[in-house]
Amino acid sequence: MTTDPAHPDHPGDQDWRETLRARGLRLTPQRELVLAAVRELRHATPDQVHAHVRARSEAVNLSTVYRTLEVLEDAGLIKHAHLSDRAPTYHAVDDDHEHFHLVCRRCKKVTSVATGALAPLNETLRDRYGFVPDAAHLTVFGTCEGECCPDEHDHD
Protein backbone atom coordinates (compact mmCIF):
# COMPACT_ATOMS: atom_id res chain seq x y z
CA MET A 1 0.00 0.00 0.00
CA THR A 2 1.24 3.44 -0.88
CA THR A 3 -1.49 5.24 0.98
CA ASP A 4 -0.51 7.99 3.30
CA PRO A 5 -3.35 8.54 5.75
CA ALA A 6 -3.50 12.09 6.97
CA HIS A 7 -5.76 11.17 9.86
CA PRO A 8 -5.63 7.95 11.84
CA ASP A 9 -9.40 7.39 12.09
CA HIS A 10 -9.97 7.22 8.39
CA PRO A 11 -7.25 5.61 6.35
CA GLY A 12 -8.11 7.77 3.42
CA ASP A 13 -9.58 10.75 5.14
CA GLN A 14 -7.93 12.84 2.46
CA ASP A 15 -7.57 9.95 0.09
CA TRP A 16 -11.12 9.99 -1.09
CA ARG A 17 -10.22 13.00 -3.19
CA GLU A 18 -7.41 11.04 -4.74
CA THR A 19 -9.59 8.02 -5.24
CA LEU A 20 -12.25 9.94 -7.09
CA ARG A 21 -9.76 11.95 -9.10
CA ALA A 22 -7.96 8.79 -10.13
CA ARG A 23 -11.20 7.61 -11.65
CA GLY A 24 -11.81 10.82 -13.48
CA LEU A 25 -14.68 11.65 -11.17
CA ARG A 26 -15.40 15.11 -9.91
CA LEU A 27 -15.12 16.33 -6.38
CA THR A 28 -18.42 17.90 -5.44
CA PRO A 29 -19.72 19.14 -2.13
CA GLN A 30 -22.54 16.61 -2.40
CA ARG A 31 -20.10 13.72 -2.59
CA GLU A 32 -18.15 15.02 0.35
CA LEU A 33 -21.31 15.41 2.39
CA VAL A 34 -22.63 11.97 1.56
CA LEU A 35 -19.34 10.31 2.35
CA ALA A 36 -19.11 12.19 5.63
CA ALA A 37 -22.65 11.13 6.51
CA VAL A 38 -21.93 7.48 5.83
CA ARG A 39 -18.83 7.66 8.00
CA GLU A 40 -20.60 9.40 10.84
CA LEU A 41 -23.73 7.27 10.80
CA ARG A 42 -21.79 4.01 10.63
CA HIS A 43 -24.72 1.99 9.26
CA ALA A 44 -27.21 4.04 7.32
CA THR A 45 -29.86 3.55 4.67
CA PRO A 46 -29.99 5.91 1.70
CA ASP A 47 -32.89 7.64 3.38
CA GLN A 48 -30.99 8.11 6.61
CA VAL A 49 -27.99 9.48 4.76
CA HIS A 50 -30.29 11.89 3.02
CA ALA A 51 -31.84 13.01 6.29
CA HIS A 52 -28.44 13.43 7.91
CA VAL A 53 -27.16 15.57 5.09
CA ARG A 54 -30.28 17.70 5.06
CA ALA A 55 -30.16 18.11 8.82
CA ARG A 56 -26.97 20.03 8.33
CA SER A 57 -29.05 22.40 6.30
CA GLU A 58 -27.30 21.25 3.21
CA ALA A 59 -30.02 20.37 0.76
CA VAL A 60 -29.03 17.43 -1.36
CA ASN A 61 -31.56 15.68 -3.51
CA LEU A 62 -32.46 12.11 -2.65
CA SER A 63 -31.71 10.88 -6.13
CA THR A 64 -28.29 12.46 -5.85
CA VAL A 65 -27.79 10.49 -2.66
CA TYR A 66 -28.59 7.28 -4.50
CA ARG A 67 -26.30 8.13 -7.39
CA THR A 68 -23.54 9.23 -5.05
CA LEU A 69 -23.74 6.10 -2.93
CA GLU A 70 -23.33 4.08 -6.10
CA VAL A 71 -20.36 6.13 -7.21
CA LEU A 72 -18.68 5.90 -3.82
CA GLU A 73 -19.27 2.17 -3.67
CA ASP A 74 -17.84 1.66 -7.16
CA ALA A 75 -14.83 3.65 -6.05
CA GLY A 76 -14.42 1.31 -3.10
CA LEU A 77 -14.89 4.00 -0.47
CA ILE A 78 -18.07 2.53 0.98
CA LYS A 79 -19.90 -0.78 0.94
CA HIS A 80 -23.44 -1.84 1.56
CA ALA A 81 -24.93 -4.74 3.44
CA HIS A 82 -28.49 -5.83 4.06
CA LEU A 83 -29.18 -5.44 7.74
CA SER A 84 -32.92 -5.66 7.38
CA ASP A 85 -35.29 -7.16 4.90
CA ARG A 86 -35.86 -3.67 3.61
CA ALA A 87 -33.39 -1.00 2.64
CA PRO A 88 -29.65 -1.62 2.34
CA THR A 89 -27.29 0.07 4.77
CA TYR A 90 -24.02 1.69 3.82
CA HIS A 91 -20.83 1.90 5.80
CA ALA A 92 -17.40 3.32 5.15
CA VAL A 93 -14.69 0.95 4.01
CA ASP A 94 -11.74 0.67 6.31
CA ASP A 95 -9.32 -1.91 5.02
CA ASP A 96 -7.68 -2.25 8.40
CA HIS A 97 -10.93 -3.06 10.11
CA GLU A 98 -12.89 -5.07 7.62
CA HIS A 99 -15.95 -6.51 9.26
CA PHE A 100 -19.23 -8.29 8.70
CA HIS A 101 -22.47 -8.00 10.64
CA LEU A 102 -24.56 -9.98 13.06
CA VAL A 103 -28.19 -8.92 13.32
CA CYS A 104 -30.40 -10.13 16.15
CA ARG A 105 -33.98 -10.74 15.10
CA ARG A 106 -35.24 -10.25 18.61
CA CYS A 107 -33.53 -7.10 19.81
CA LYS A 108 -32.45 -5.84 16.37
CA LYS A 109 -28.95 -5.22 17.67
CA VAL A 110 -26.23 -5.04 15.04
CA THR A 111 -22.78 -6.32 15.94
CA SER A 112 -19.70 -5.80 13.81
CA VAL A 113 -17.27 -8.70 13.73
CA ALA A 114 -13.79 -8.68 12.26
CA THR A 115 -13.66 -10.80 9.14
CA GLY A 116 -10.93 -12.88 10.73
CA ALA A 117 -13.66 -14.94 12.35
CA LEU A 118 -14.57 -16.17 8.89
CA ALA A 119 -11.21 -17.72 8.13
CA PRO A 120 -12.29 -21.35 8.67
CA LEU A 121 -15.40 -20.86 6.57
CA ASN A 122 -13.46 -19.13 3.82
CA GLU A 123 -11.10 -22.05 3.69
CA THR A 124 -13.89 -24.59 3.48
CA LEU A 125 -15.68 -22.71 0.74
CA ARG A 126 -12.51 -22.21 -1.25
CA ASP A 127 -11.48 -25.83 -0.99
CA ARG A 128 -14.85 -27.39 -1.58
CA TYR A 129 -16.46 -24.94 -3.98
CA GLY A 130 -13.68 -22.73 -5.31
CA PHE A 131 -15.69 -19.88 -3.87
CA VAL A 132 -14.25 -16.67 -2.44
CA PRO A 133 -16.69 -14.83 -0.19
CA ASP A 134 -17.10 -11.08 -0.09
CA ALA A 135 -16.77 -11.06 3.66
CA ALA A 136 -17.58 -7.41 4.17
CA HIS A 137 -20.95 -7.82 2.51
CA LEU A 138 -21.98 -10.66 4.77
CA THR A 139 -24.85 -10.34 7.19
CA VAL A 140 -25.65 -13.13 9.60
CA PHE A 141 -29.16 -13.10 11.00
CA GLY A 142 -29.90 -14.94 14.19
CA THR A 143 -30.51 -14.29 17.85
CA CYS A 144 -28.29 -13.27 20.70
CA GLU A 145 -28.73 -15.37 23.77
CA GLY A 146 -27.51 -12.74 26.18
CA GLU A 147 -29.36 -10.66 28.74
CA CYS A 148 -30.06 -8.11 26.04
CA CYS A 149 -32.66 -10.43 24.66
CA PRO A 150 -35.56 -11.24 26.94
CA ASP A 151 -36.06 -14.92 26.32
CA GLU A 152 -39.28 -14.55 24.46
CA HIS A 153 -40.49 -17.00 21.91
CA ASP A 154 -38.67 -16.75 18.64
CA HIS A 155 -40.90 -14.97 16.21
CA ASP A 156 -39.30 -13.57 13.12
Partner DNA sequence: CTTGTTGCAAACTTTTTGCATACAC
Partner DNA sequence: GTGTATGCAAAAAGTTTGCAACAAG
142 binds, among DNA, its own copies, none (CB under 5 to 8 A by kind): its own copies
Whose CA is closest to 42, among 112, 111, 91?
91
What are the φ and ψ backbone dihedral angles of 101, each rounded to 5 degrees? -125, 140
What are the φ and ψ backbone dihedral angles of 85, each rounded to 5 degrees? -75, -5
- Decide: 52 and 40 in contact? Cβ < 8 Å: yes
- Residues that bind its own copies in the complex, under the rule CB under 8 A: 73-74, 82, 85, 88, 102, 104-105, 111, 113, 117-118, 120-121, 124-126, 128-134, 137-138, 140-146, 155-156
Q: Report 64-83 residues binding DNA (CB under 7 A).
A: 64, 66-68, 70-71
Region of residue 95 (left: phi > 0; alpha: psi -120 to 50; beta: else): alpha
22 binds, among its own copies, DNA, none (CB under 5 to 8 A by kind): none
Q: Any contact of residue 61 with DNA (CB under 7 A)?
A: yes
**Which part of the chain contacts DNA (CB under 7 A), choosing from 4-12, 23-31, 92-100, 139-147?**
23-31
Which residues have CB under 8 Å from 26's CB, separation 6+?
A: 20
**Which part of the chain contacts DNA (CB under 7 A), choosing from 59-67, 100-108, 110-118, 144-152?**
59-67
